[in-house]
Structure 1
Amino acid sequence: MAEDEAQLSPPESLLQLIDNLARFHREHEEYYAQAPLRQAGELQARSRALKALADRWSVIGASEQAPPIVFAGAEDLNAPGLVAESGILFMEGEGEPPELQRLRREVGLLADDLEQTGAWLAGAMEQAWEMAGGLAAYPALADLLGERHRIIADDWQSAGLQALVARLLRRALDLLARVDFAPAALRADLSSDRTAPSYLYSASELLDRAADLMTESAMLVHDNERRWRVFRARARELRST
């Protein structure tokens, strides 16, 4: 009888590994169930800033004469309320506002981070999938195989979303690169084809979709929390017996 039970249960070394993975990966995923929500909120704030500028530039007429005082605020280019919210301030005699440069730089850094994290996670899930298949040899874990594979599927899907978000962010930056944000160039555009608002609207829409997908990624990872607890509890139960 004892021999039959030993055949049903995984070896102690495997149970230790399951306990370790369930503990540390659950904690790791607790972070990734929260961080994307914060990043999504930051993306939405950047998108709102772009929309506010696009709204302003869609209806305002360009000033024909700029104030002679350098560093004076550009009355026609600044969107109402946006300076206090985002710090983006167009000034006479200046080029692209540094806050707008920072916005673009931060979006680029986020795209790099998400691409790297998504690639790492996809590779890790490839290995985890193979390892999970080996657990089928142990009947004592048979009822948890669905839980383990669901964890992997959720994380794999999250990895794909992160890669897609990185693409959306980079395309948004490509669109913003089409706009010359120097006041003189903007006024020239507003006096002719007025294409700058269109590029900003499209870029903001890509940021909005990226934020939505990041929220979905967080939800997928958060869905694993109970599954990890159940998986670890079974490993500890088998170790104790």
Structure 2
Amino acid sequence: MAADEAQLSPPESLLRLIDNLARFHRQHEEYYSQAPLQQAGGLQERSRVLKALADRWSVVGVREQASAVASAGAEDLNAPGLVAESGVLFMEGEGEPAELQRMKREVGLLADDVEQTGAWLANAMEQAWDLAGSLAAYPALADLLGERHRIIANDWQSAALQSLIARLLRRALDLLARVDFAPAALRADLRGARKVPAYLYSASELLDRAADLMLESATLVHDNEHRWRIFRARVRELESA
């Protein structure tokens, strides 16, 4: 490489580092452009459970315990078709269905996961921003700095969404914590103010919004795919020069 060309390009050690980052971070983002789609689908399924119960409990007439036999299905509390779809079954003489308890645990774990991922990604983008700024010293990469900074901006925005998603999920759990899902308690509410359906509708709307933001996060990360390929192609070209 001629002396003037060497001044235009980053040193070989920096090119190797950039190539490594571009290769592995692109692979990492391939995962995070898909995983949120599955997570969003899971949240929408849980939201439908809450809506189905709220729909049922908004209109159903309240009955006394239909059977003295423990574990008999509660005719008034179970939403049509929901037991087979979700496994959520209200039984006489029982408390909160195990499936609802599991659903809330899973939502809480997801909130922890996305919060940790968002915090890690935000910190990583702080470092990436500084490194990308240092590349401005090399004219051979000047036309790609827009692409590199767009990647960072997309990831940074995704990190912020992860933090908001965690907040929405935890607030949905706060609302559900105000509901006693034991059949006796539900029937008492249905005979009175019927506040439980309102809590369920609101919690489901928060889950829906969290799912929407997960899709936005996946879209942002997916937008990086083409940019990574362009950026890495130039780095490999300079490495081979």
The answer to whether the Cα contact below 8 Å between 2:12 and 2:239 also exists between their aligned partners in 1 is yes
The answer to whether the Cα contact below 8 Å between 2:158 and 2:217 also exists between their aligned partners in 1 is yes
> Over residues 42-79 of structure 1, what are the superposed CA-to-partner deviations in whole Å (9 max), with x where a residue is unaligned?
00000000000000000001112431111000000000
The corresponding residue for 1:2 is: 2
- Summarize the alignment of residues 105-124 of structure 1 with structure 2, pairs less than 5 Å apart: 105-124=105-124
The corresponding residue for 2:187 is: 187
The answer to which of 24-33 and 64-73 deviates more is 64-73
* Identity across matched positions, percent: 83
- Summarize the alignment of residues 54-73 of structure 1 with structure 2, pairs less than 5 Å apart: 54-73=54-73
Partner Cα separation in structure 1 for residue 9 and residue 114 of structure 2: 39
Q: State the 4+ residue runs in structure 1 displaced beyond 6 angstroms.
A: none
Structure 2 unaligned blocks of 5 or more: none
Partner Cα separation in structure 2 for residue 17 and residue 200 of structure 1: 50
The corresponding residue for 2:19 is: 19
Report the alpha carbon displacement of residue 3 of structure 1 after superposing the two structures with TM: 1.1
The answer to whether the Cα contact below 8 Å between 2:66 and 2:75 also exists between their aligned partners in 1 is no
- Summarize the alignment of residues 87-166 of structure 1 with structure 2, pairs less than 5 Å apart: 87-166=87-166
Structure 1 unaligned blocks of 5 or more: none
Q: Counterpart of 1:167 in structure 2: which amino acid?
A: R
Partner Cα separation in structure 2 for residue 180 and residue 104 of structure 1: 13
Partner Cα separation in structure 1 for residue 23 and residue 65 of structure 2: 65
Partner Cα separation in structure 2 for residue 81 and residue 180 of structure 1: 22
> Over residues 108-134 of structure 1, what are the superposed CA-to-partner deviations in whole Å (9 max), with x where a residue is unaligned?
000000111100100110111011000
The corresponding residue for 1:234 is: 234
The answer to whether the Cα contact below 8 Å between 2:121 and 2:156 also exists between their aligned partners in 1 is yes
Q: Counterpart of 1:48 in structure 2: which amino acid?
A: R
Report the alpha carbon displacement of residue 2 of structure 1 after superposing the two structures with TM: 1.4
TM (norm. structure 1) is 0.99
TM (norm. structure 2) is 0.99
